[in-house]
Amino acid sequence: MRPLHTVPSRLEVVLGILAADWARMIPDETIAEIRERMDIVELIGEYVRLSKSGASFKGLCPFHAEKTPSFYVHPQRRFFHCFGCQASGDVFSFLTQLEGISFPEAARRLASKTGVEIPEANAAESAERSRRKRREERLVDVMDAAAGFFAESLRTHRWASFARTMCEERGVSAEFIKRFRLGYAPHGWDGLVRFLQERGTSMEDAETMGLVAPRRGGGGHYDRFRHRLMFPIADHQGRIIAFSGRELPPPPGDDARETPKYINSPESPLYTKGSVLFGLHEGRVQTRREGYALICEGNFDLVKLHQAGFGNSVAPMGTALTAEQATLLRRFADRVVLLFDGDRAGRSAVRSAHPILAKAGLQCSVVGLPPGDDPDSFLTEHGEEALRERVSSAPNIVEYLIDQGAAESIGDPAKKAAAIESLGPVLRAVDNPVEVRLYVERVAQRFEVRDIDAVRRQLRRGLRQGQRRRRSPEKAPAEAPTPRTEKRTFNPIELELLGVFVDQPRLLDSAEAERFASVLTDPDLRAILQATSRMVGSCGEVEASALTAEFAGNPALSWLEGRLVQPSAGDEESARSVLLQSLPRLEARAREREALDLQKRAFEARRQGNDELADELTRQRLELLRQGVRP
């Protein structure tokens, strides 16, 4: 049986899913090898709880909030698809979409998991990259070992009861102590030093990561963290890169001395405090699913929020929110909710965060907590549902700042004037002129100033700058989403039979495939049949990610993605039976259409006086009718 279409090379199929720049950076053969070696169920299973469902696995989609699983993974086709939000792709697109990383970064991470070597174009660059990678892996290993030491000390050290008691008093459960790998830095000077030396760890590496410090007089090192409750800080990849140590009451016999409430790791080759968000790794899936991140300030606040079900919570590390942190958040969500302490410092932090979040293109709302409350105390006193209600009804940040300014300046004209003036930079970050006009009116209303022109004069410097449109920051070069088109209805028989060939591609080399191709009328479905036949002829199988990459904008793309992850449960024999039952119906409809067309053409020919042509067309129609078509 001849193939339905001319067969392109395998290279053309594989390159169909890669942008030109990516293909130049990493050879297509390497990409194909990584895809084949990486178990997509194992990878996605690190983020989503999957259960077997026929030939596929299913679970709750990590890309949107849902209560009933509509997310499917097909291991043989190395492909995933969500019937709810339409997210789909292979291992590369899963990582780029979920982690917000570039394609090359995803490829290198998967290559590391699968043992595939990515060739470097330049030998010197390759050697330097390998050197940096080895050092980075060594430093990560030191931090992981320290986290294990602190966690074990929390269970066994004689003074760890102070740390355990603090966790109990703050209501942190054993489950979340384990989830966040909380630990105890032992009382004394060299507990960690001795542990690291016994395992052969380089003290230079430990010093680089801020775990130990050299003794002033020389001759060794001492622990930087001593008698503290330890919070490991992971980057968004899950690597521990820093620690935050909480002060504890002194043990018996130890003189009480004033020490900082928190000691954080110094910056290092792995850690820049303004670029990391505590809790992002633990909450990245829920953040992606919820569509927003909840930003708090304290370590305990963060852990308690996760424990209360707000797993999309993150916290800056001992610093005000930075542009780097906002850009990092933008990879995972397009909206944030600020949940800072209900004191003056918290309100000041909201004002400072506004221009940073606006520049990053993040929509922002603010939860107002009662004065003196922080997220932890509010949860303890009022409970999860009360906080959830506040989050869901939180005003946007501009409205919040206007209301706060008005509330803090009641009855004092000078304070009102200063507060209105201070809102100029706030409105400057609003890039919609209509919104600016409405906010000006709101300022006048909330501050009870009838002369709106006076309000405009007070705000005019900020408003003039606010008319300039801000440029949206560039996102990390993640894989572009597949363009979608409006849904339309397809012939159910054509869909059913096309699905048979997608499920059982060996049937493409059969007489039934030829018959189906001759009567398939829908051009979008025909394109899928042609591409599937072409791919099977070239590769010997259906490569799901390459196949779907060919149909951006095709109205049948969503159907194809769903069929690839959830094929019919039947075998090849039952599939052939479906063809033999349904093909005659489709062929009969095709003959009906042709007979009707012949009848119209014969009528038109006779109307124009061409009886000879009309008779010939009528004869052809009668021949079709004799094949079993009712007139």
pLDDT at 504: 86
Structure tokens that stand for 14 in this block: 């594989």
Dihedral angle over CA of 370, 375, 376, 380, nearest 10: 60
Burial class (CB in 10 A: 0-12, 13-18, 19+), 526: middle
pLDDT at 22: 43
Structure tokens that stand for 629 in this block: 């078509």
Please check the confidence at residue 77 and state whether its pLDDT lies above 60.
Answer: yes
Window from 91-95, 121-125, 232-236, 488-492 with minimum mean pLDDT: 121-125
The CA distance from 264 to 154, in Å, is: 18
Could you tell me which residues come within 8 angstroms of residue 194 by beta carbon, excluding any fewer than 6 positions away?
A: none
pLDDT at 461: 53
Window from 364-373, 389-398, 422-431, 506-515 with minimum mean pLDDT: 422-431
pLDDT at 538: 76
Please check the confidence at residue 79 and state whether its pLDDT lies above 90.
Answer: yes
The answer to whether the CB of 89 falls within 8 A of the CB of 40 is no
Could you tell me which residues come within 8 angstroms of residue 585 by beta carbon, excluding any fewer than 6 positions away?
A: 493
pLDDT band at 206 (very low <50, low <70, confident <90, very high): very high
pLDDT band at 631 (very low <50, low <70, confident <90, very high): very low
Q: Is 50 left (phi over 0), alpha (psi -120 to 50) or beta?
A: beta
Highest mean pLDDT among 51-65, 150-164, 512-526, 603-617: 150-164
Could you tell me which residues come within 8 angstroms of residue 325 by beta carbon, excluding any fewer than 6 positions away?
A: 274, 275, 276, 277, 316
Element (H, E) at 169: helix 161-169
pLDDT tens by residue, 409-446: 787 788 888 878 878 878 877 777 888 888 888 888 88
Could you tell me which residues come within 8 angstroms of residue 213 by beta carbon, excluding any fewer than 6 positions away?
A: 207, 221, 222, 224
pLDDT tens by residue, 538-565: 777 888 888 888 777 788 888 888 888 8
Window from 441-455, 477-491, 545-559, 601-615 with minimum mean pLDDT: 477-491
Q: Report pTM.
A: 0.67
Please check the confidence at residue 468 and state whether its pLDDT lies above 50.
Answer: no
Q: Name 539's bridge partners.
A: none
Highest mean pLDDT among 14-28, 103-117, 232-246, 613-627: 232-246
Please check the confidence at residue 209 and state whether its pLDDT lies above 90.
Answer: yes
SS3 content of the chain, % helix, strand, coil (to 5): 55, 10, 35
pLDDT tens by residue, 272-309: 989 999 999 999 889 988 889 999 988 999 999 999 99
Please check the confidence at residue 3 and state whether its pLDDT lies above 90.
Answer: no
The CA distance from 530 to 217, in Å, is: 78
Structure tokens that stand for 626 in this block: 């004799």
pLDDT at 473: 40
pLDDT tens by residue, 340-367: 887 778 888 888 888 889 888 889 999 9
Q: What is the CA radius of gyration of the chain?
A: 32
Comparing 7 with 504, which gets the higher pLDDT?
504
Comparing 517 with 598, which gets the higher pLDDT?
517
pLDDT at 478: 39
The mean pLDDT value of the chain amounts to 83
The CA distance from 86 to 72, in Å, is: 11
Please report, for the chain, how many H helices and E strands are present, in that order.
Answer: 29, 16
Q: What are phi and psi of 58, to 5 degrees?
A: -135, 160
The answer to whether the CB of 313 falls within 8 A of the CB of 297 is no
Comparing 156 with 630, which gets the higher pLDDT?
156
Please check the confidence at residue 20 and state whether its pLDDT lies above 50.
Answer: no
pLDDT tens by residue, 181-197: 999 999 989 999 999 99
Mean pLDDT of the 523-528 span: 86
